[in-house]
Amino acid sequence: MLTVFPIPAFQDNYIWALHNDRFAILVDPGDPSPCIGYLSTRKLALVAILTTHHHADHTGGNLELATRYHPRIIGPAIENIPAITEKVTGGDTVFISELGLHFQVIATPGHTLGHISYYGANRLFCGDTLFACGCGRLFEGTPEMMHASLQSLALLPDSTEIFCAHEYTLSNIRFAKTVDADNAALLDREIFEKAKRHQRLSTLPSTLALEKATNPFLRCHENALDQAAERYLKHRPRNTVETFAALREMKNHFQ
């Protein structure tokens, strides 16, 4: 049986641990200490690290974990990933034999130029590309890149479970309500997610179906989002990319 567990790190990061009763994978271990504690308590052997992008809060634990456990460290080919042993690009497949897991590598540039996501066993580990009810900031890429990345993820099955790397859900919902206020599914989601956080539970995983229904950055084709972008731009967006860019800029300044 496969367990997927969010190891909290820093202020709002999640390091995802996938394991059976013997072997484990970590996704984006920015801090080694909670990872070592989790693995030690459960007597797990770390066999692989999956890295989505180069930011330190996603890679900061690589060197210490590499020294301690000697795992495979897999990451984007065009980014500088500490202790990397295997470089992958979109379209590649990663097989972790100890867990019997195949992951499809999906190129998802935007947050960074080389950002990748991993899809396998109906689970998507998408780092800082797709968040619950949001998306990542554009530190290196363009709106066109991020919009295309999100659209590629939207092609996955609706039942896909979404495991992103931060607990941003309630903040993202607050923003979404400012641009999609009449969305009943969004309002219902806010009640549900608030209840989980009140119990100190993670809001993740989400599902792709829920994101399509409530996430403004996957709904740029909807009239409500188009109109919100028009109010911000003071002109009608020419296409969904321009709508997306306006929404992302609005979110950048949202408090």
pTM for this structure?
0.96
| 48-100 per-position pLDDT tens digit | 999 999 999 999 999 999 999 999 999 999 999 999 999 999 999 999 999 99
Residue 30 burial by CB count (10 A; 0-12/13-18/19+): exposed, middle or buried? buried
Rounded to whole angstroms, the Cα distance separating 153 from 159 reads 12
39: tokens are 């693995």
All structural domains of the chain with their residue ranges: 3-252
Give the number of other CB atoms < 10 A from CB of residue 88: 20
CA proximity to 7, closest of 55, 67, 61: 61
The DSSP secondary-structure symbol of 218 reads: G
| 142-178 per-position pLDDT tens digit | 999 999 999 999 999 999 999 999 999 999 999 999 9
Taking all residues of the chain, what is their mean pLDDT, rounded to a whole number?
98
Residues annotated as catalytic (active site), given as ranges: 53, 55, 57-58, 111, 128, 166
Which residues lie closer than 8 Å to 124 by C-beta, 6 or more apart?
117, 118, 130, 153, 156, 160, 161, 162, 163, 208
CA proximity to 202, closest of 3, 8, 46: 8
| Contact yes or no for 92/107 (Cβ under 8 A) | no
CATH superfamily entry for domain 3-252:
Ribonuclease Z/Hydroxyacylglutathione hydrolase-like (3.60.15.10)
| 208-236 per-position pLDDT tens digit | 999 999 999 999 999 999 999 999 999 99
Q: Count of residues for the chain?
A: 255
- pLDDT at residue 255 in the model: 76
